[in-house]
Amino acid sequence: MSVATMRFEDGVLHLIDQRVLPLAFETVSCRNAVETADAIRSMVVRGAPAIGCAAAFGLALDAQSAAGQMRPIFDTTLDQAFAVLAASRPTAVNLFWALERMRGVWTSQSTLPSDEMAVALVREAQAIYDEDIAANRAMGAHGAALLPQEACVLTHCNAGALATAGHGTALGVIRSAVEAGKNISVIADETRPFLQGARLTAWEMVQEQIPVTLISDNMAGHMMKSGAVDAVIVGADRIAANGDVANKIGTYMVAVLAARHQIPFYVAAPLSTFDLNAADGDAIPIEERAADEVTGFRDVRWAPEGVRVANPAFDVTPAELIAAIITEQGVIARPDRNKVAAHCRAAPMNNQ
């Protein structure tokens, strides 16, 4: 049983503070949409599916607070909540997908009393959360089948339980493979600058006693060259209509190296990660984050004063480098525009 990234209870969204893991285990309590947006922006919670769930709950919090008000007042409150949550982070599309699902409920019954609407919105947020766990379980089963009986799997960033409602996408595949009796070990890229790999992926794997070896990001190529890596699995923050994948910065380099060494490169992501409105990766906005993430870590600074910094938080891996995209619906081998379209059309939960 993997960790519970968030808990929605009695008008509070409790989030594990992923900024301080694994040295401290603390939770942050969000009581409204503004606090939830702050938590997303500051990366208390991160990971595309987890951000989507948190945003839905953040909206539910404001809906609960405004329950009992006249609908116009309630609706104004919700409008503001949508805006603040949508502005929290730009790249992961699950955020916008979850907000649109919530908006669908909200706008479907404009005359429903606000207290009943609040109940419906809380229910929808909970459904998004529950479905995410179910999707990860399904993805895990589909992905586990792709791994050999014995495999060392390299992963970048954290696409684990902490990045989702639970079980994880990339780490969900690894967990499911282990549950199925496969002998899996993990190489975790530390994933500068936020160190999601060193802190979160390593922690999740150590907790469950799945053998994990931590490396600096720039060691991945050497590990592949030396024959230590059998497969790569990562998550995704947004997948374009042609199968291009935006994911944590550095994913592109891992994918290029994997291709050079003929190591299969897999992406595990729920259907909510697809953005069919983005024709290809160039249409995906790449978040630029603050310089101080790169000049040091937390309170420690090691770069000299006066240095400029670039801090793109994501990059785009072209579809040609991807062996398969694994969703809750199955596997898109060698993804391209036609296969992505067919896969999304076939899904019962068509998100576009």
Residue (50 or 220) nearer to its own copies, CB = 220
Shortest CB 221 distance to its own copies, Å: 4
Tell me: does residue 315 bind its own copies (CB under 8 A): yes
Known catalytic membership, residue 237: yes
Tell me: does residue 222 bind its own copies (CB under 8 A): yes
Segment contacting its own copies (CB under 8 A): 52-60, 131-139, 168-176, 312-320?
312-320
DSSP per residue over 50-97, as a string? HHHHHHHHHHHHHHHHHTTS-HHHHHHHHHHHHHHHHTS-SS-HHHHH
CA distance 322 to 336: 10
Spell out, one character per residue from 285 to 304, where the chain touches its own copies: x when CB under 8 A holds, - when not.
-x-------xx-xx-xxxxx
First to last CA, the chain: 32
Active-site residue identified among 217, 237, 244, 315: 237
Strand partners, 154: 187, 232
Tell me: does residue 183 bind its own copies (CB under 8 A): no
Tell me: does residue 316 bind its own copies (CB under 8 A): yes
Both tokens assigned to 261: 């060494």
The residues in 232-261 that bind its own copies, with binding defined as CB under 8 A, are 249-250, 252-253, 256-257, 260
Shortest CB 207 distance to its own copies, Å: 8
Residue (139 or 223) nearer to its own copies, CB = 223
CA distance 62 to 87: 16
Integer Rg of the chain from CA: 20
Write down the residue that tokens 């160039």 correspond to: 282
CA distance 182 to 139: 16
Both tokens assigned to 204: 């999740």
Residue (105 or 202) nearer to its own copies, CB = 202
DSSP assignment, residue 28?
E
Catalytic residue set: 237
Q: Which residues bind its own copies (CB under 8 A)?
A: 22-23, 156, 187-193, 195, 198-199, 202-203, 205-206, 211-223, 225, 249-250, 252-253, 256-257, 260, 286, 294-295, 297-298, 300-312, 315-316
